[in-house]
Chains A and B, each alone.
Chain A
Amino acid sequence: MSEAISALKGASHTGFATVAEAGLTGMISIRADLKSKALAKALKGLGLSTPGQRKVITADGRSVAWMSPDELLLICSYDEAPGLSQSLSEALAKEHSLVTNVSDARAMFTVSGEKGDEVLMKLCPVDFATFPEGEMRRTRAAQVAAALWRSGPQELSVICFRSVAAYMLGLLEVSSRKGGEIF
């Protein structure tokens, strides 16, 4: 797997906040009945549980997020994604489900710093003043789809499609330029 490279190889910019591509990240899409016991069991094995509506749960460096009423996204390390994808598929084999490794289809970014919210305020129709921790928000950043959550103290993570990674970094860069602080 040594030849795998993320869309932007971890490129970053520092303005009034730091925006960076997060590099290779494992992502697994799970489509299933979210009430499934087999699903709960499989997630429990990872120290996680089935998140409720819009929730994102993190444990042991992995996160699982509610993406829609029948879809979760498991975020893990890039290297473990193929194996995890396989084992989840097997765990749900007896139920109607679809587990796919989408690690390569996406790009992930972090926006960090005290004024990180102000970067995304310029791009997303989301009320960041009331946007809580532990919530996954799927929305739009300028002209492309984005999913974002508060991934740490003074840090937001943003996922978009791989093909528009450069566009997303461009948006984040221009929105975090010094002098562009809102408050």
Chain B
Amino acid sequence: MLTLTCPYCGVTVEETELAPGGEAHLKRFGPGASDEDFEGYLFARKNPKGVHFERWRHAYGCGKWFLAARCTATLEVFGTYPAQTTEPPAELIVKINEKRPNWGGWK
């Protein structure tokens, strides 16, 4: 069972206080989008063995959504950050580059 630090509350909590929300940094496609883009938005998920950016809600705490970068194989957590962003913080990318030189980027 994971522990993650809520970037809003500043507390490290166990997974039972959280609700998972799947892959982070999805771009929403709405009316007017091509079938291909819309299919990608609805269904195509990365599911990597390695670094993964994902959504978590501090459901039993502040109720806020935050994002986490985590290795799905070792469960190492590289960092958590607020959800109000379209891309991971630069310093987090630097940290992941150091720890997983061949991780392949977040996009």
**Given A125-B16, A140-B16, A140-B17: A54 in contact with B9 (beta carbons within 8 A):** yes
- Whether B14 and A68, one on each chain, are in contact in the complex, defined by CB atoms closer than 8 angstroms, is no
- Whether A69 and B64, one on each chain, are in contact in the complex, defined by CB atoms closer than 8 angstroms, is yes
Q: Which residues of B contact A67 (CB under 8 A)?
A: 62
**Contacting residue for A54 out of B10, B13, B64, CB 8 A:** B10
- Max chain B Cβ within 10 angstroms of own Cβ: one of A68, A138, A139: A138
Assembled-state Cα–Cα distance A95/B16 (Å):
36
User: Could you tell me how many residues of chain A have their Cβ less than 8 Å away from some Cβ of chain B?
Assistant: 13
Assembled-state Cα–Cα distance A5/B17 (Å):
31
Answer yes or no: A53 CB below 8 A from chain B CBs: yes
Q: Which residues of B contact A54 (CB under 8 A)?
A: 9-11
Q: Which residues of A contact B14 (CB under 8 A)?
A: 125
- The A/B interface has a contact count, at CB < 8 Å, of 35
- Max chain A Cβ within 10 angstroms of own Cβ: one of B14, B62, B63: B62
Which partner residue on chain A sits nearest B60 by CB separation?
A140
- Whether A139 and B9, one on each chain, are in contact in the complex, defined by CB atoms closer than 8 angstroms, is no
- Whether A137 and B17, one on each chain, are in contact in the complex, defined by CB atoms closer than 8 angstroms, is no
Which partner residue on chain A sits nearest B3 by CB separation?
A125
Give, as a whole number of angstroms, the nearest-CB distance from B62 to chain A: 4
Assembled-state Cα–Cα distance A69/B9 (Å):
8
Which partner residue on chain B sits nearest A53 by CB separation?
B10
Please list the residues of chain A having a beta carbon within 8 angstroms of any beta carbon in chain B.
Answer: 53-54, 67-69, 71, 125, 137-140, 145-146
Please list the residues of chain B having a beta carbon within 8 angstroms of any beta carbon in chain A.
Answer: 8-11, 13-14, 16-17, 59-64
